Structure 1
Amino acid sequence: MKNIQAVLFDLDGTLIDSEHFYYSNWKPILAQYFGLEISYDDWIEYFAGHTLVDNVRFLSEKWGIETTDEFMWKETRAAYAKSDMTNIALMPYAAEILDELQAAGKRIALVTSSFRTTVDTVLGHHGLLSYFEFFVTREKVSRPKPDPEPYVLATTLLGLPKEQVVAIEDTSTGFTSAQGAGLTCIAVTRQAAERRKLVEAPILLPGLQEVRELLLPSLP
């Protein structure tokens, strides 16, 4: 890919291996309060990549579970605090690709549906915050992914032509957002459920190592 000047990264499932963390915290809440048992495949299929508000609405639409955003926010945040988000690992090659993109003079920013507190906790723990020029987090937008608003805002902040910007996403939700903003999006996931949803993505790769090879082909 030629003339790319900036790379916009998603966070959950793209740079950090957080889906097991979220699943392990939502699963007991759904079982205890609503008698709903979900598998990890269910989590990837129906919940991953969506906001809490979307997930609460989906619980009602698919399983008839009536709850509130406030209740689920309170319960999940308490669970996250007990589980310690600093235990969330980086995805393979996350640190390497950030380091190499920075060394190559590329601008880097984050576009995520997570809140800034999550970004600071996890990426701060891994010492990666300084790589990012700015953060478009959930509280920065009115309409989160899959709406294009987060990527429209990020492109505006960069001040670059869209042809010089690429987004990296692991879910169809994020891909739809980036594509809607007129950006080239590299989809990167090993999850079979997400790969099925991303079959129309022009670039679908299994991991960040392959993204690195695409964006920085001259590196060993």
Structure 2
Amino acid sequence: MTAKLKGIVFDMDGVIIESEFTHYSAICEAMGERMNQSYETFLTKCTGGDERFAMGRLAELCEIDYDEQQFQQWSQRKAEAYKRLVSKEAKAMPGAVDLVLSAAEHFPIALATGSRKVDVDAALEVLAGGELKGIFQIIVSSSDVKKPKPHPATYEMAIEGIGLPAENCIAIEDSPSGIASAKQAGLGVLGVSVMHGRDALKEANWCTDSLEKISVVELIRLFQS
């Protein structure tokens, strides 16, 4: 890219926090014993979107009929379960906290996530001792947009919030739908192949298997390559 890097937008789940199993456990608790799909199925078929997508897909796979009232009940139970579980299990992805803290010293940074605001708040409250709470200029969750990832609205709102054009920003993502969202919004994307393999992230501009290998200097180098 020939443009200069001026801002960084981070995804949350699978990039900053190792939380997919926590989400899965909370959903299992919320949906009850009829939710019989494995964690592997959840990862491959139900992640990358928002909570409505994940629960709807799981309900379909489990052949569970539900209406809006049922979904809202699941959603409330899931929020309560996630808050309890993440307070015990919050674990940062390798290299993520250091990169976020370093990035914040050099650039405006944003968080663009498919999680609901209540889940984001619960995670940031405890992750790394709350060290990342308040560090992002803007947090855009699925609660803030009508169309979540893979629609570009999440990233469009994030870069608007840090006051930068897309061509000067890089997104850090771990899922195909997140990559699609960022690229449709015009951002370059660094894929992190932890939850999904490199083949699944082939639409990313660049890819790494760990943020431990990525520094701000390396992000600038990648962006200019």
What is the TM-score when the length of structure 1 is the normalising length?
Answer: 0.85
Deviation at 1:53, TM superposition (A): 1.1
Alpha carbon RMSD of aligned pairs, Å?
2.2
Contact (CA 8 Å) 2:37, 2:61: kept in 1 or not? Answer: no
Per-residue CA deviations over 1:168-216 (Å, capped at 9, x if unaligned) read 111111111101111111111223x453322232312111123326216
Q: 2:214 aligns with which of 195, 211, 215?
A: 211
Give the aligned partner of residue 21 of structure 1.
22
Q: 1:182 aligns with which of 180, 186, 190?
A: 186
Letter in 2 for 1:143: K
The 5 Å alignment of 1:19-98 reads 19-30=20-31, 32=33, 34=34, 36-67=35-66, 68-85=70-87, 87-98=89-100
Aligned residue in 2 for 1:117: 118
Letter in 1 for 2:78: T
Tell me: CA distance 1:77–1:197, structure 2 relative to 1, closer, same or farther (3 Å). Answer: same
Structure 2: tracts of 5 or more residues without a match: none
1:97 and 1:81 map into 2 onto residues whose CA distance is: 25
Which residue does 2:163 correspond to in 1? Answer: 159
SS of structure 2 residue aligned to 1:187: strand
SS at match of 1:130: coil
Compare 48-57 and 15-24 and name the one that shifted more: 48-57
Shift of 1:108: 0.7
Instruction: Check 1:162–1:120 CA distance in 2 against 1; reply closer, same or farther (3 A cut).
Output: same
Pairing partner for 1:198 from 184, 197, 201 = 201
Are the structure 2 counterparts of residues 86 and 128 from structure 1 closer, same or farther at C-alpha, using a change threshold of 3 Å?
Answer: farther
Q: Could you tell me which residue of structure 1 aligns to residue 152 of structure 2?
A: 148
Amino acid at match of 2:100: L
Q: C-alpha displacement at 1:112, in angstroms?
A: 1.0
- Return the TM-score normalized by structure 2: 0.84
Residue 39 of structure 1 aligns with an amino acid whose one-letter code is S
Q: Deviations over 1:140-164 (max 9, x none)?
A: 1111111101111122222222221
